[in-house]
Amino acid sequence: MNKVIGTAVSRKDGLAKVTGTATYAAEHQIPGLVHGYLVTASIANGQIKSIDTSAAKKASGVIAVFTHENAPKILMPANNFITSKIYEARLPLSDNKIHYAGQIIGLVVADTFERARDAAHLVKVEYATQKPLVDVTKATFEEAPSQFGEESKFEKGDLAAGLASATAKFTATYKTSTELHAPMEPHAIIAHWQDANSLTIYEPSQWVLGTQRTYADLFGLASERVRIVTPFLGGAFGSKAFPWPHGILCAAAAREVQRPLRVVLSRQQMTANAGHRSETEQIIRLGATADGSLTAIAHEAKSYTSSVDVFAEPCTSITPVMYSTPNLQLKQELAVLNIGTPTFMRAPGENPGMWAMESAMDELAWMLKIDPVELRLKNETQEHQRQGKPFSAKHFADCLRVGAEQFGWQDRPKQPRSLTRDGKLIGWGMAAATFPGLQGKASVKVRLLPDSTAHLLTAGNDMGTGTYTVVAMTAAEALGLPVEQVRVELGDSLLPTGGMAGGSQMTATLVPAVMSACQQVLKTANAKTAQEAFATLRQSKGAAFEATASSAPSDEANKWAFQSWGAHFCEVSVDEEIARLRVTRWVSVMDIGQVINSKTAASQVRGAVIMGIGQALMEECLFDPNIGYPVVYDLATYHFPAHADIPRIEVAFVGEPDLNFNPAGARGVGEIGITGVSAAIANAVYHATGKRIRNLPITPDKLI
Ligand code: MOS
């Protein structure tokens, strides 16, 4: 049999994307399409006293204007992740209250986009304004509610005793800034009601079936009356899993005007009302013996949410998995601000959590004069200290050793400020990476056709991570076909149930179903390979052999904790005169179980490292403390890395297939790469300059 899994295959969708033939949500051509433009609040806290739409309604081309005074009918969905989920629990236009700047307060529908936008600016609003709270230092923090089935507090052993018995005690506070997902494709939707009870939605969605059920709930329809079409997403990073208020309002307004309606958000609108990562403040306390064994770990995290929904950035999720300690204490606190609801963003929790933990471990290593790689090896845990389960197929130590060797870590000068090159200070740093192995449920249909192609179909989708290619490769191997002879159709709710492209789980979710559907179709065809089946089809003039198979997490999952691991090693250069910091070298080694596509998997890690470099050096969304508006609102004011900021990123994989996890042994790779990146950089900055930066991003002002 030909070996395809594990090889490097270029993206199936690559040509379509670079030639512009991949159709994104807003690009679908629907006859009779009309255009919506959002009216958004110019204050961040208060009420609408009056809203005058008369001029807007009279403007040329305007079809309708919606505000809270004539809000279209929308039903509250179950909103529980299982049956349905919306990003913000307050339905759009539900009353006259303003909770954050940029909140949606109206929608103008017109025959062209420009006329809708023009008329939106003719809507006159009078507000009763209250002073907004957008500053976490002035906010009241309370214990965060339990989230995703986990309490916000956890305690094992006796923290005070653990700290008392330590020879080295370390405490520090680490901060991260509000970050934007900033996908290349803006949030956009076309809602098309074929009749009063049939709705088609073209929207980038990381979770086609969930989005289908959610829109069905919102409008009191049976799921099968709603179709979600989302073959391509131009980046999502957690911001496109559930409907946002603009999508809900677009679908509701489209029903009222009885025309297909498109709403595209501007970058400025996206900043205010389509999610972001909350800023965080974390206190890490460590106790250790002189030889570096951790006697205590305490991790306290603060983040903010909006006044209309609850989302606590789950920073402490990584603490029980990283390092072994008899005494562990976790706590999450949450404040309410006049800022739109924060949400999942690439490695939610793990990313800021690892920033704090991996910075603290580096500081402890310097304090104890222990190699930071050794300190991590010494404290590795073989069980999840919160779930009490052993890790399956864990190769964290190999990540550290292989990474150290590839980077040349053993040659590291042991003092800060001891390496220079071309008049610049050079520093080396490292940090660990981690992300859980998650798997969902999916069904996949395979069809073998007389033209010697295999056709794979599922509603699960590709948010740019490589799902088309991974599905094709898995089928190619199972059927004994070249990848070119496999066609893959994704991202349409008419197709068999797919999983969610979130939590780095799409590969682990789909691959087992693809394997089993391919085995079944060969059985149905009574053939050993697809070629045999094709021959039978041609002889018998049959149309196709078909099979559908499903997969779900196995009972084995209850016995094990599934987690992926990694290590980053990096070099920075610092020009002290102008405080210019550059990342000049990078090595990442990952243990993600079975690698399906070595090319797209390495690309996922590279993309995540680049996003982490952005977080470390540039990305921050700031809010005007007086008016509460984001002062960073587009791709010019929200700084992120360009090619010139990025060095060559070496990526290697270690480990073995995690066969306790699923028959493919693959754990997924979308998010792990960003965890630990900012800590590795801050650790290298300390080595270069002797300055410890605990507040992201590391902008030049912090280095002067
Ligand atoms: Mo990811 S933040 O689960 O899309």
Write the CATH number for 114. 3.90.1170.50
Task: Say whether pLDDT at 425 is over 80.
Answer: yes
Tokens 């050793």 found at: 401
CA of 661 to the centre of ligand 1 (A): 20
**How confident is the model at residue 172, as a pLDDT?**
98
Active-site position among 333, 358, 571, 671: 671
**Ligand 1 atom closest to the CA of 239, numbered from 1:** 4
| Separation of alpha carbons 560 and 228, rounded Å | 35
| Separation of alpha carbons 506 and 442, rounded Å | 9
Q: Do 230 and 117 belong to one domain?
A: yes
Which helix or strand (DSSP H or E) is residue 663 part of?
none
- For residue 635, the tally of other CB atoms under 10 A from its CB is 11
What CATH number did the domain enclosing 525 receive? 3.30.365.10
**Residue 136 falls within a domain, yes or no?**
no
Which domain does 514 fall in, by range? 14-22+440-552
**Quick one: tokens of 652?**
């290697």
**Ligand 1 atom closest to the CA of 347, numbered from 1:** 2
Q: Do 348 and 429 belong to one domain?
A: yes
Q: Indicate the Cα dihedral angle 48, 50, 53, 55, nearest 10°.
A: -130
**Residue 8 falls within a domain, yes or no?**
no
**Residue 147 falls within a domain, yes or no?**
yes
**Ligand 1 atom closest to the CA of 504, numbered from 1:** 3
Q: Is 671 a catalytic residue?
A: yes
**Residue 458 falls within a domain, yes or no?**
yes
What is the chain's Cα-based Rg? 26
Q: Do 512 and 596 belong to one domain?
A: no
CA of 621 to the centre of ligand 1 (A): 20
Q: Do 214 and 253 belong to one domain?
A: yes
**How confident is the model at residue 116, as a pLDDT?**
98
**How confident is the model at residue 1, as a pLDDT?**
55
**How confident is the model at residue 169, as a pLDDT?**
97
Helices (H), 107-164: 113-120, 159-164
Q: Do 204 and 330 belong to one domain?
A: no
**Residue 137 falls within a domain, yes or no?**
no
| Separation of alpha carbons 437 and 442, rounded Å | 16
Q: Which of 552, 582, 616 is the last residue of a domain?
A: 552
Task: Say whether pLDDT at 423 is over 90.
Answer: yes
Q: Which of 552, 581, 604 is the last residue of a domain?
A: 552
- What ranges make up the beta strands (E) of 289-423? 294-305, 328-336, 383-384, 389-390, 420-421
Q: Do 66 and 205 belong to one domain?
A: yes
CA of 677 to the centre of ligand 1 (A): 17
CA of 343 to the centre of ligand 1 (A): 9
CA of 206 to the centre of ligand 1 (A): 9
**Residue 45 falls within a domain, yes or no?**
yes
**Ligand 1 atom closest to the CA of 505, numbered from 1:** 3
**Residue 1 falls within a domain, yes or no?**
no
Angle at 608 between CA 240 and CA 685, to 5 degrees: 135
Q: Which of 552, 568, 590 is the last residue of a domain?
A: 552
Calculate what percentage of the chain has a pLDDT beyond 70. Answer: 100
Give the residues surrounding ligand 1 with Cβ less than 6 Å away.
206, 236-238, 344-346, 348, 502-503, 671
pLDDT one-digit tens code per residue, 489-526: 999 999 999 999 999 999 999 999 999 999 999 999 99
Q: How many domains does the chain have?
A: 3
Q: Do 367 and 423 belong to one domain?
A: yes
**Ligand 1 atom closest to the CA of 236, numbered from 1:** 4
Residue from 233, 344, 674, 675 to probe ligand 1 pocket by mutation (most atoms less than 8 Å from CB): 344
Q: pTM above 0.95?
A: yes
Averaged pLDDT for residues 89-114 = 98
pLDDT one-digit tens code per residue, 591-641: 999 999 999 999 999 999 999 999 999 999 999 999 999 999 899 999 999
**Which residue in 540, 652, 645 sits closest to 602, CA to CA?**
652
The residue whose CA is least distant from atom 4 of ligand 1 is 238
**Which residue in 101, 114, 127 sits closest to 42, CA to CA?**
101
Calculate what percentage of the chain has a pLDDT beyond 90. Answer: 98
Q: Annotate 270-298 with b (16+ C-beta within 10 A) or e (fewer).
A: bbbbbbbbbbbbbbbbbbbeeebbbbbbb
Q: Do 318 and 361 belong to one domain?
A: yes
Q: Do 602 and 656 belong to one domain?
A: yes
Q: Do 602 and 685 belong to one domain?
A: yes
C-beta separation of 294 from 323 below 8 A: yes
Q: Do 431 and 446 belong to one domain?
A: no
CA of 434 to the centre of ligand 1 (A): 14
Type of residue numbered 82: I
**Residue 27 falls within a domain, yes or no?**
no
Q: Do 572 and 680 belong to one domain?
A: yes
Q: What is the DSSP string of 467-505?
A: HHHHHHHHHHHHHT--GGGEEEE-SBTTSS----S-TT-
